[in-house]
Amino acid sequence: NPSSTGFITIKSNYNKTIRTQLFDLLGKEVIHNQLINNRLDISDLNAGVYILKLTQNNRTTTKKLIIQ
């Protein structure tokens, strides 16, 4: 899932708010917000590898995100 567009789209089967947290590889939180229109703005971030934590309906998943 490399991204170079300035945003990523996150889809869900549920119609509930998705809380997002994005961490760099050192564990520092760089984004903490709720999704708007299923898009997460990553345009201010430097290229690199990040860990994306998504929470919805008291369920959490984590994904690796690569920004080019």
Digit-coded pLDDT (tens) for 37-57: 888 988 889 989 999 999 998
φ, ψ of residue 2 in degrees (nearest 5) = -60, 145
- The answer to whether residue 1 scores a pLDDT higher than 60 is no
Q: What is the C-alpha to C-alpha distance for residues 45 and 2, in angstroms, rounded to an integer?
A: 13
The predicted pLDDT at position 67 comes to 85
- The answer to whether residue 2 scores a pLDDT higher than 60 is no
